[in-house]
Structure 1
Amino acid sequence: MDIFSRLSWFFKQEKRAYILGASMLILVGLLAGIVPMIIARVIDEMTNGTLTYSALLFWVAVVAGISLLQYAMRYVWRTNIFGTSAKLEKILRQRLFNHFTKMDSVFYQKYRTGDLMAHATNDLGSIRMVAGGGILTMVDSLTQGIITLFMMFWAVDWQLSLMVIIPLPVLAIAIRFIGKKMHFHFRRAQEAFSSLNDKVQESVTGIKVIKTFGEEELDTIDFNKMTANVVKKNQSVYFYDALFRPAIQTIMGICTVIGLFYGGFLVLEGQITVGLLVAFLNYITRMSWPMVAIGRLLNIIERGSASYDRIMDILKEESNILEAENPVTTPIDGDIQFEIDSFTYPQTSEVMLKNVKFTLPQGNTLGVVGKTGSGKTSIFKLLMRDYDQYQGRISFNGVDMKVYSLDTLLGSIGYVPQDNFLFSTTVRDNIRFGNPSASQEIVEEVARLTSVHEDIIGFPEGYDTMVGERGVALSGGQKQRISMARAIINSPSLLILDDSLSAVDAKTEEAILEGIKTNRQDKTTIISAHRISSVMHADEIIVLDNGEIIERGTHYELLEQNGWYKQMYEKQQLEALLEGGGEQ
Structure 2
Amino acid sequence: MKVFRDLSWFFKQERKRYVIALVAMLITTFCSLVPPRMIGFVIDHITEGTLTPRLLTICLLIMIGLGIVIYLLRFVSRMQLFGASAKLGRILRERLYEKYTLMSPSFYQQYRTGDLMAHATNDIRAVQSSAGIGVMTIGDALITGGMTLLMMAITVSPKLTLIAIIPLPILVLATNYYGRLLHDTFKKAQGAFSQLNDKTQESISGIKVTKSFGYEEDDEADFRELSDEVVGKNMRVAKIDALFDPTIQLVLGTSYLLSMIFGAMMMLNGEITIGDLVTFTTYLNMLVWPLLALGFFFNIVQRGHASYDRIRQIESVENDVKLVANIATKPTGDIVFQMDAFQFQNEQSARLHDIHFTLKQGMTLGIVGSTGSGKSLMLRLLLREFDTDHPDDIQYGGRAIRSYGIDQLRAQFGYVPQEHFLFSSTIRANIAFSQPDISDEALYHASQMSHIHRDIMGLPEAYETVVGERGVSLSGGQKQRISIARALIKDPDVLILDDALSAVDAETEAAILHNLKETRRGKTNIITAHRMSAVMHADMILVMREGTIVERGTHDVLLAQNGWYAETFHAQAMQARYAEDLTEQVERGGQHDETY
| Preserved contact between residue 365 and residue 539 of structure 1 (Cα < 8 Å) | yes
1:453 aligned partner, one-letter code: H
| Preserved contact between residue 366 and residue 525 of structure 1 (Cα < 8 Å) | yes
Residues 164-210 of structure 1: CA distance to partner in whole angstroms, max 9, x if unpaired? Answer: 21111111110110010011111111111111111111111111111
SS in 1 for 2:287: helix
In the other structure, the counterpart of 1:405 is 405
Shift of 1:583: 6.7
Q: 1:487-502 alignment to 2 at 5 Å?
A: 487-502=487-502
Q: 1:332-481 alignment to 2 at 5 Å?
A: 332-391=331-390, 393-481=393-481
**1:239 aligned to 2:243?**
no
Distance in 1 between residues matched to 2:573 and 2:100, nearest whole Å: 46
Distance in 2 between residues matched to 1:143 and 1:328, nearest whole Å: 55
Taking structure 1 as reference, are residues 341 and 501 closer, same or farther at Cα in structure 2, changes over 3 Å only?
A: same
SS in 2 for 1:395: strand
TM normalised by structure 1 equals 0.97
1:374 aligned partner, one-letter code: S
Shift of 1:333: 2.2
SS in 1 for 2:351: strand
| Preserved contact between residue 341 and residue 355 of structure 1 (Cα < 8 Å) | yes
**1:568 aligned to 2:568?**
yes
Q: 1:45-444 alignment to 2 at 5 Å?
A: 45-324=45-324, 327-391=326-390, 393-444=393-444
Distance in 2 between residues matched to 1:582 and 1:113, nearest whole Å: 47
- The gaps in structure 2 that reach 5 residues or longer are 585-596
Instruction: Give the alignment's Cα RMSD to 1 decimal.
Output: 1.6
Q: Which moved more, 1:414-423 or 1:60-69?
A: 60-69
Q: Which moved more, 1:282-291 or 1:174-183?
A: 282-291
Shift of 1:287: 1.4
SS in 1 for 2:387: coil
Shift of 1:54: 3.4
1:179 aligned partner, one-letter code: G
Distance in 1 between residues matched to 2:461 and 2:579, nearest whole Å: 35
The aligned length equals 583
Taking structure 1 as reference, are residues 578 and 352 closer, same or farther at Cα in structure 2, changes over 3 Å only?
A: same
Shift of 1:61: 2.3
1:443 aligned partner, one-letter code: L
Distance in 2 between residues matched to 1:154 and 1:292, nearest whole Å: 24
SS in 2 for 1:351: coil
2:352 aligned partner, one-letter code: L
Distance in 1 between residues matched to 2:130 and 2:298, nearest whole Å: 10
Distance in 2 between residues matched to 1:106 and 1:329, nearest whole Å: 30
2:36 aligned partner, one-letter code: P
Shift of 1:58: 2.7
Shift of 1:329: 4.1
Shift of 1:334: 2.1
In the other structure, the counterpart of 2:588 is none
Residues 342-395 of structure 1: CA distance to partner in whole angstroms, max 9, x if unpaired? Answer: 111233223110112222222221111111111111111111011113356111
Distance in 1 between residues matched to 2:521 and 2:307, nearest whole Å: 54
2:345 aligned partner, one-letter code: P
Distance in 2 between residues matched to 1:40 and 1:107, nearest whole Å: 66
| Large movers: runs of 4+ above 4 Å | none
Residues 64-102 of structure 1: CA distance to partner in whole angstroms, max 9, x if unpaired? Answer: 221111111111111111122211111111122122222
In the other structure, the counterpart of 2:589 is none
| Preserved contact between residue 329 and residue 404 of structure 1 (Cα < 8 Å) | no
Distance in 1 between residues matched to 2:95 and 2:526, nearest whole Å: 36
Residues 11-49 of structure 1: CA distance to partner in whole angstroms, max 9, x if unpaired? Answer: 222222211111111111111111111111222222233
Distance in 1 between residues matched to 2:211 and 2:556, nearest whole Å: 45
SS in 2 for 1:491: coil
Shift of 1:429: 1.7
Distance in 2 between residues matched to 1:181 and 1:435, nearest whole Å: 52
| Preserved contact between residue 381 and residue 388 of structure 2 (Cα < 8 Å) | no
| Preserved contact between residue 324 and residue 406 of structure 2 (Cα < 8 Å) | no
1:296 aligned partner, one-letter code: F
Shift of 1:553: 2.1
| Preserved contact between residue 369 and residue 376 of structure 1 (Cα < 8 Å) | yes
Shift of 1:144: 0.7
Distance in 1 between residues matched to 2:285 and 2:581, nearest whole Å: 92
| Preserved contact between residue 29 and residue 143 of structure 2 (Cα < 8 Å) | yes
Shift of 1:269: 1.9
Percent identity of equivalent pairs: 46
SS in 2 for 1:390: coil
Distance in 2 between residues matched to 1:10 and 1:70, nearest whole Å: 28
SS in 2 for 1:580: helix
Distance in 2 between residues matched to 1:423 and 1:583, nearest whole Å: 37
Shift of 1:331: 3.4
Shift of 1:324: 4.2
SS in 1 for 2:536: coil
2:27 aligned partner, one-letter code: L
